A and B are shown apart, each in its own frame.
Chain A
Amino acid sequence: MSDGIGRILLAEDNLNDVELTREALAGSNLANEMDVARDGQEALDYLYKAGAYSGRKSADPIVILLDLKMPLVDGLEVLRRVKGDPALSHIPVVMLTSSSEERDLVESYRLGVNAYVVKPVDFKQFVEAVRKTGIFWAVLNNVPRGVPPPGA
């Protein structure tokens, strides 16, 4: 199934959140297909196969889960770059954030985010949110097959 679906890219600086997200996705067979970038710059390197990821062979992720607040380059900036690049803009992006600040929500949608999830304090709700989002975008998103992966 993993071959058929493809990988998920999670950009998240907090290891606890990485682990919780992984746990939340564990029941959906998606966890093993998840790559983690620890900040916005690493996520961009991953996407552009630059820096530490210059030799990345894997296909582009089928969905990007972006934490809003990250060191170096924040989630909004990554979102802006992805959606501003015709080679990447087809990849669905989901914002995962602790904050329910309206201005972040508005800015994210202005930049073309596909979904916006406020991480609840309650873990069960968090699991539900992440699981639904991941599965929704991993399974139901209709990735255009005619688009070749960049650099291929």
Chain B
Amino acid sequence: MSRLGKAGLTIPQRLLLVTTLSSSSALLIAGITLAVLDERQARADLLRRRTTDAEMIGLHSASALTFDDRSAAESTLAALRVKKDVEHACIYTTAGRLFAAYRSRGGGCPATAGPAQASHRLEADRLVVSYPVVHDGEALGTIVIQSNLEELAAHSRRIVWLGLQVSLVAFAVGLLIAWRYQRALSDPLLALARTAQEVTDRKDYSVRLHAKAPAEIGVLIEKFNWMLAQIQQHDQELRSVQAQLEQRVVERTRELQQELLVRREAEAEVRRLNDALSQRLEEVTALNQEIESFSYSVSHDLRAPLRHVNGFVDLLRERAAGLLDETCQRYLGVIASGAKQMGCLIDDLLGFSRMGRSELSRRDVALEGLLNEVTQDAQRETLGRDIEWVLHPLPTVRGDSSMLRIVFVNLLSNAVKYSNRVAKARIEVGWQSGENGLVTVFVRDNGVGFDMRYADKLFGVFQRLHRAEDFEGTGIGLATVRRIANRHGGNAWAESEVGRGATFYVSFAKAEGA
């Protein structure tokens, strides 16, 4: 409440002050007015009484004057003894001579105001009344009575004292009433102020003021409560929104942490895999180098003895031609062709090995052009044979053209080779779309075919389904075809029936945009 008091007096104090001041002022003004009127009345009464006294004494002393009886006049004057305030009473003759006198205390008689004239003179502390003594219309003298004003002053004091007492009681009663009434006004206001302070201090908008108050204060409290309700509602909405936001932030933070965790794990996994991969790559690289140097040695060192075998067999045939019989000559032939065959095997094997290791130079390759070139070579080599070539248009694929050429060379030479016992050979080349955007090229012949039970063996290295004396070959061509297809993201397979020809399929990734 101290803060409220800063502005000076409190509302109750002000109300009390205003009420008290106004009622006191009214009382004071009324009191003074009454006192003044009463004073005047008292003086008028005193004047009237003294005038009556003077008239009465004049009537009784007229004969004494006429007969110059001083003692009678003085005894008449002595009747004034009962009047405590009369100080002097004197009777003057018309000539102005003192005739008789009464004195309650010392001092001279007051002078006459004037002959045969009723008059009075009011001084600060006395009243002097003059009245003529008349008998039968003849002025005999003048009577003068001097009174002090003590009785009048005492009366005035009594009046003031009474007024003060009445005022005090009236003031007390007024104060009581004002105090009681101001509470009806100020209590709700104070309660309002306290509540406002409480709301401010505690930021608690749920507080309501339950006070009955008259008139506009009641409206004020009602509106105050309404405002509090509004603020409380907005505050609650704000808090609710804030809580939702905080909840969202917490959830999102948790989600982010979770995501971060997952990502970190994934990154760690990727790193782990990368490390493993790098290690594998190093191993593979080392292995490749080993294979490389191995195949280099093979290509160099393994061929030399074969060359020697062959060379010396030839020298032997030249030098000892006449000494050897037919059987011996045949033996030398077997030795020479064996060595030659082994040379071919070594070359094919090295080629096959190189096929798996050498890098692919990928670009768009038009298979149709490639097929035409390879077919022309095959046709040159099969002059004299009756072969029907059925070549369908082929698409463009993405790959290494020299390797793709090897595929066609192998497939077409197989088709030519295994159809050489058919009177009218027919070789067909075409393509079809496969899964995953692959292009599947097929080469179909009407040759000897093979047993499907051994279809997979066909693509193994040095795996043959026919005897060497029936169809020559090293058994590495189809293995090479399959390896090239694999390196181009595809595969190679075959369908056949013994005696009814064979179809070889090979798939490649299609060219981008083709």
Contacts and interface: CB of A to CB of B under 8 A. Distances in A.
Interface in A66-90: 68-69
Given A20-B311, A123-B310, A123-B311, A101 B296 contact: yes
Contacts of B339: 121
Interface stretch (A92-100, A108-116, A132-140): A92-100
Interface in B272-324: 296, 299-301, 303-304, 306-308, 310-315
B343 interface: yes
A128 interface: no
B340 interface: yes
Contacts of B312: 16, 20
Contacts of B340: 121-122
B307 A121 contact: yes
B304 A98 contact: yes
B307 to A, nearest CB: 5
A38 B304 CA distance: 16
A62 to B, nearest CB: 25
- Grouping DSSP codes into helix (H, G, I), strand (E, B) and loop, the B interface class, with mixed when no group exceeds half, is helix
A121 B343 CA distance: 7
Given A121-B340, A121-B343, A122-B340, A20 B300 contact: no
Contacts of A14: 304, 308
A20 B312 CA distance: 8
Given A121-B340, A121-B343, A16 B311 contact: yes
A17 to B, nearest CB: 7
Given A23-B315, A99-B296, A17 B310 contact: no
A120 B311 CA distance: 10
Contact of A126 (B300, B311, B313): B311
Contacts of A68: 300
A17 B299 contact: no
B299 A100 contact: yes
Interface residues of A, number: 19
Contacts of B299: 98-101
A100 B343 CA distance: 12
A57 interface: no
- Grouping DSSP codes into helix (H, G, I), strand (E, B) and loop, the A interface class, with mixed when no group exceeds half, is loop
Contacts of A20: 307-308, 311-312, 315
A68 B347 CA distance: 18
Given A121-B306, A121-B339, A122-B340, A98 B301 contact: yes
Contacts of A101: 296, 299-300
A20 B307 CA distance: 9
Contact of B303 (A16, A98, A124): A98
B320 to A, nearest CB: 14
A119 interface: yes
Contacts of A122: 310, 340
A41 B340 CA distance: 33
A70 to B, nearest CB: 11
B300 A97 contact: yes
Contacts of A126: 307, 311
Shortest 5 CB-CB distances between A and B: which pairs? A121-B343, A123-B311, A99-B300, A123-B314, A16-B308
